Amino acid sequence: MSDHLENTYVWDPVVRVLHWALVISFATAWGLGKFGPNQMTLHFYAGYTVAGIVVLRVLWGLFGFHTAKFVNFVRGPKQVISYAKTLPLKEPSRSFGHNPVGALFVVGVLVVLAMQIASGLLADPEDYINVGPLAQYVSASTARKALSLHEPLSTLLLLMVVAHIGAIFWYKKRKGENLVKPMVTGYADLPQSKTAGE
């Protein structure tokens, strides 16, 4: 158990830069959607930035660095459940990359972000100003449906982000593990047995 720890390279710069860019652009898109001016041009730009980040992250998840690739961290229900049982334990998980529960969040948030962007692109609020650029290519009822999804999806995303930040706090307070530092520097303290196997 007390395997000695080594400073190990976990998150490549693409993952790190995309993550912190997503934090900024998501917060901007959300804030401008809720509290911005009536004319939503800036909201649209922030939304396109989020869209670009999501596309790049999916490509990096298919063709990128080891820990960024979906095949290396997305796991089936058995592993998710057995990992979930370790969450209350007062010991660090020291995962090499995403753990199986974190993986669910990553995939879930990328899917809901894509739905949020698609609903925004197709939305037509019938005000002749804030019309999503793709609304003209679909029927009026589809554009209305997209509009009616956009707000509830934004609330769902907010809840997911709150849970995400709550989980990071949990790891710090309960498990004594700082997950933010590796997302900034790229390096985590890991037992070498973890990086060789899992």
Q: Which residues bind ligand HEM (CB under 6 A)?
A: 15, 18-19, 22-23, 26, 29-30, 33-34, 40, 43-44, 47-48, 50-51, 57, 68, 98, 102, 106, 109, 113, 116-117, 120-121, 123, 125, 130, 132-133, 147, 150-151, 154, 157, 161, 164-165, 168, 179-180, 183
Q: Considering the complex, what minimum distance in angstroms separates the CB of residue 133 from ligand HEM?
A: 6
Angle formed by the axes of helices 140-173 and 100-122, to 10°? 150
Q: Considering the complex, what minimum distance in angstroms separates the CB of residue 148 from ligand HEM?
A: 9
Q: Considering the complex, what minimum distance in angstroms separates the CB of residue 85 from ligand HEM?
A: 18
Q: Considering the complex, what minimum distance in angstroms separates the CB of residue 77 from ligand HEM?
A: 19
The CA distance from 126 to 26, in Å, is 25
Q: Are 112 and 153 in contact (CB under 8 A)?
A: yes
Q: Give how far Cα 5 sits from Cα of 1, 99, 192, Å.
A: 11, 18, 7
Torsion from C-alpha of 196, 84, 100, 113, nearest 10 degrees = -150
Looking at beta carbons only, is 102 or 175 nearer to ligand HEM? 102
Token pair 């057995």: residue? 82
